[in-house]
Each structure stands twice: as structure tokens, then as C-alpha cells.
Amino acid sequence: MIATETFKPLVLAQAKARKVEPRLIVVKHPIGGLNADELRERIEAATKGLTEATTK
């Protein structure tokens, strides 16, 4: 699951309510309202996190 750092507490609180432990990739907040260059940094961070998570 990919979440922004700002909404990580919401994800964890909802996960706790459902008694699950999600594997999280956390990127900087926000995502909405970014231009293409700004969004690229988020995509790269998410891709890096996903690659690391799936190659362990």
C-alpha cells in the first residue's frame, strides 16, 4: 500500500481497526495539486519502495 507521510497515521489506525498489518510505502505529502516535475519525485520514491519490497 502506498500512503503519504501525512496520512500514514490514518492508514495505521484503520489497519488496526481491521486487525491487519499492511506493508506500507510512504511518500512525501501531498500528491494532489503537484505539477509533473513535483509528481516525478513521488513516483520515483514509490517505485523505489515497491522495488525494494518485491525483491526482498
Partner 1 sequence: MKDIADQEVIDLEDMDIEAFNAFATDQGWSDGMPLYVPTEDKVARFVETVRGDNRPYPPVPPRQVIPTVQALAANAVMAGCKPEYFPVVTAALRGVLDPDYNLHGTLATTHSCAPMVMVSGPIRHELKINCGSNCFGQGWQANATIGRALGLMLLNVAGAKPGEMDRSTQGNPAKFTFCFGENEEENPWTPYHVQRGFAATDSVVTVMSGEGPHNLNDHGSTTGDGLLTTFAGGMATPGANTIYGKGPMFVIIGPEHAATLKRDGFTIESIRQELYRRSRVHASRISVENQDTYISTGHKPDGDWFTIARSPDDIHITVAGGPGKHSAFIPSFGGTTVASTRIAR
Given the rule CB under 8 A, which residues bind partner 1? 7, 9-10, 13-14, 17-18
Q: How far is CA 30 from CA 20, 33, 50, in A?
A: 25, 8, 19
The three-state secondary structure class of 21 is coil
Quick one: 29 or 48, whose CB is closer to partner 1?
Answer: 29
Quick one: 21 or 54, whose CB is closer to partner 1?
Answer: 21
Quick one: 10 or 53, whose CB is closer to partner 1?
Answer: 10
Asked if residues 5 and 45 have their Cβ atoms less than 8 Å apart, the reply is no
Closest distance between partner 1 and the C-beta of residue 41, in Å? 19
C-alpha cell at 10: 490514518
